[in-house]
Amino acid sequence: MSVVDDLILYAEIGWIAQLVDGAVVMAYGLTVTTVLMSSGISTATATASVHAAKVVTTPASSTAPCRLGLVFRS
């Protein structure tokens, strides 16, 4: 597989894991780590990629309600 194919595969895995996370409000890390490790990625790389993704997704998901005006400050 080429690098582009790998990136597309990892993006698809992340997208599916985010759907699972949104549906059950947990298990993003578990889902991604399991799928990556079953596809041959080492444990350290799978864990690092989950933590790297959470660095971006956590602030984005926590600031979204504020930007949409759903947080009321008195």
57 is a domain residue: yes
* pLDDT score of 42: 93
Model pLDDT for residues 58-72, shown as the tens digit of each residue:
787 778 888 888 888
Note down the domain range covering 7.
3-67
Domain count, the chain: 1
* pLDDT score of 43: 92
Q: Is 70 helix (H, G, I), strand (E, B) or coil?
A: coil
72 is a domain residue: no
26 is a domain residue: yes
Model pLDDT for residues 6-52, shown as the tens digit of each residue:
888 888 887 887 777 777 767 778 888 888 899 898 999 999 988 88
* Residue that has been written with the tokens 């759907």 in this structure: 19
Q: What is the pTM assigned to this prediction?
A: 0.61
* pLDDT score of 23: 74
d(CA 10, CA 4): 10
* Residue that has been written with the tokens 């350290």 in this structure: 44
